[in-house]
A = this chain, B = another copy of it.
Amino acid sequence: MVEREGGPRPGGRSARVQASVHRATRDLLARMDRTAVTIPLIAAEAGVTPSTIYRRWGELNELLADVAVERLRPDMVPVETGHGRGDLLAWAEQYAEEMSSDLGREMIRDVLAAEGAAGPRRCCSYARQQIALIAERAAARGEAFPSLDAVLDGVIAPILFRILFDEALGNARVGELVERVFEGDRRGDDP
């Protein structure tokens, strides 16, 4: 019962279509204004008929979200600085920077604009995995490290909240948040 999450079986026709549609979408988004990107356009660029896209993704939002989630998947292991706090700081700074770029902001919005909570949750779990990895390394060194929820609420949440609703945080503020989450370092979550 091994569910594959990356879509259909690799190598099949279905996978080829998905790949070329994704590529076409990325290309067009890079080349032109996002409001000008339409499904017929993507279809032409990808060499498929529009109805194929409509049947597979339903609407543009879903396709854009699909592409964005894939691009948001972390492609590297968080850098090691020697201690958990440094690891988290380095990671958070990079995360904030990537996400607050024009491209990052657009991808987040694309993910959120699609129906259903699957996309956003996957993005959240990407961050979770990265932080869990840093936490495990810290634990292996015998260091104290804040709980996953504390980091999510204390560091990731403000970073994304500000990007989405206000103005992106600078490195200074991100550093403060990381400090703060290490201050009241309680491991458990029960009252």
A residues with CB within 8 A of B: 35, 59, 61, 109, 112-113, 115, 120-121, 123-124, 152-154, 156-158, 160-162, 164-166, 172, 176-177, 180, 183-184, 191
Contact = CB atoms under 8 A, between A and B. Distances in A.
A177 to B, nearest CB: 7
B172 A180 contact: no
Contact of A165 (B160, B162, B166, B191): B160
Each complex incorporates copies of this chain amounting to: 2
Contacts of A165: 120-121, 123-124, 160
Given A112-B164, A152-B158, A183-B184, 9 more contacts: A35-B115, A109-B112, A112-B112, A120-B166, A152-B162, A152-B166, A153-B162, A161-B161, A164-B164
Nearest to A59: B35
